[in-house]
Amino acid sequence: MGQDGSVQVSWTQALAPDGKTTVMIHGVAYDPKIGKPGVPDASTTVMAPQVARTALSGVLAGVNQYVQAEMAAQQTQVLGSTATITSIVPPFWQVLAGQLAGVLAPAPTQTGGPVRVARIAAGTSIVVLITAPSS
């Protein structure tokens, strides 16, 4: 990406006219319509490729933690100088939900945030401006 938001492409090699030999070059895409480096009519968009997976992972992990906490809950009852601690046995569906949430949760991903993606339409002609002679 250029500082002005344009899509920038550079080349270090080109295929010679014989179709077999590579030639070392220093070149950049050039937009003749505006007279500066860049790919003509390219667009950019911001994408977050792992958002759905991360959200699902968080939701299922939360369900699992809630069910585990509910299954471990205890009730304390104090009568005079005697305290009685009782565990509450959860219904089967809660145990099953906790296990399924733990098993089905995808691993959390570290995406580094949104990614800017460039789109260039198929068939777009790109002018390459050679900026230095081959080495």
Q: What would the pLDDT profile of 1-44 be if each residue is shown by its tens digit?
A: 888 888 888 989 888 888 888 888 899 999 998 889 989 888 88
φ, ψ dihedrals at 98, nearest 5°: -65, -45
**Cβ atoms 44, 119 nearer than 8 A:** yes
Buried b (16+ CB within 10 A) or exposed e, 72-94: eeeeeeeeeeeeeeeeeebeeee
Quick check: 97 pLDDT over 60? yes
The answer, yes or no, to whether residue 48 has pLDDT greater than 80, is no
Q: Give the residue extent of every domain in the chain.
A: 10-44+119-132, 51-104
Chain center to CA of 41: 25
Arithmetic mean of pLDDT over the chain:
77
Closest by Cα among 101, 100, 94, 104 to 72? 94
